[in-house]
Amino acid sequence: MTELPISPHPPSPESGSIDVFAAQVAHDFNNLLTGILGNLELMQNRVRRNGHDDYESYIEGARNAGGRAAAFAQRLLALSGRNTGDPVPTDLARLAAELVAPLRDEGHVIELDMPAATIACDPVQAEIALGELLENAIAATPPGGRITVSATLGPRAVTLTVRDTGAGMAPETLARAGQPFFTTRPNGTGRGLGLAIARRFATGLGGRLDLASARGEGTTATLILPLAAPQAAS
């Protein structure tokens, strides 16, 4: 099977180091592309040897790996802000409901308390940013724990919070949370992009991302985003 060179221990990037950033990106893509190329080679060998179509699992493996590669590319583009489309009115309550619905069967209690709140943004970027916050909350919360997604409206901004009842973060960890590629997840299960993507989304709209956490008290991620003009004027 053809294999791409993969570093077994990806580097721990320091802020501002483009070389380390490129090395980490190469590591992740090599892992993903190895799955694609490997499954395609297995499929090709099986067809040549047997002459029939018992290769569906290899095709599916290649498609799944390709989907993960595409999703990772979208996350990198979201982090860079280079794939932002034209802003359109986007209902955060509806978006949150759509994202939460398929997650309710994953062993967590997920509460949603969202008034209608319209912001002007690229809805794809909004979906990625909020999805990253939800993914982080789920990863940090043991089965049976509670995740709350809520929002309050001000005259010109909406404050959206994602709270979890996970282990929380020590002060030194909280200080680094949101740095690209910094993650506390074990065994390479996290890439450390979620908070950075959410912060990039918020600042790109003129808002911000705030984090609050303490050991044993869970974590709260707060997005403060400007409302679309019609609501801001009401």
**Whole-number pLDDT of residue 232:** 43
**Whole-number pLDDT of residue 21:** 57
26 forms bridges with which residues in the sheet? none
- In whole angstroms, give the CA distance from residue 8 to residue 233: 54
**For 98-125, what is each residue's pLDDT tens digit?**
999 888 766 889 999 999 999 999 888 8
Among 29, 60, 80, which residue terminates a domain?
80
**Whole-number pLDDT of residue 157:** 95
**Whole-number pLDDT of residue 178:** 66
**For 119-174, what is each residue's pLDDT tens digit?**
999 888 898 889 989 988 998 888 889 999 999 999 999 999 999 998 888 888 77
Residue 213 lies in a domain: yes
> 50 and 161: one domain?
no
> 72 and 103: one domain?
no
- In whole angstroms, give the CA distance from residue 25 to residue 184: 18
> 149 and 195: one domain?
yes
What integer is the mean pLDDT of 2-19? 38
- 23: pLDDT strictly greater than 60: no
- In whole angstroms, give the CA distance from residue 218 to residue 166: 5
pTM over 0.85: no
**Whole-number pLDDT of residue 150:** 96
Domain of 219, in residue numbers: 88-232
Among 80, 106, 130, which residue terminates a domain?
80
Q: Is 149 helix (H, G, I), strand (E, B) or coil?
A: strand
53 forms bridges with which residues in the sheet? none
121 forms bridges with which residues in the sheet? 88
**Whole-number pLDDT of residue 219:** 92
- 176: pLDDT strictly greater than 60: yes
Six token digits for residue 232: 């801001």
**Whole-number pLDDT of residue 140:** 87
**Whole-number pLDDT of residue 164:** 93
| Plot region of 164 (φ>0 → left; ψ -120 to 50 → alpha; else → beta) | beta
Count structural domains, the chain: 2
- In whole angstroms, give the CA distance from residue 3 to residue 8: 13
> 108 and 181: one domain?
yes
> 53 and 130: one domain?
no
What CATH number is attached to the domain comprising 181? Answer: 3.30.565.10
**For 36-68, what is each residue's pLDDT tens digit?**
878 878 877 777 787 666 677 777 777 777 766
Residue 11 lies in a domain: no
- Give the CA angle between residues 153, 93, 208 to the nearest 5°: 55
Among 52, 80, 108, which residue terminates a domain?
80
> 53 and 112: one domain?
no
Phi, psi of 140 (to 5 degrees): -85, -10
**Whole-number pLDDT of residue 5:** 34
- In whole angstroms, give the CA distance from residue 185 to residue 206: 30
Residue 1 lies in a domain: no
**For 68-96, what is each residue's pLDDT tens digit?**
676 666 666 666 555 556 789 999 999 99
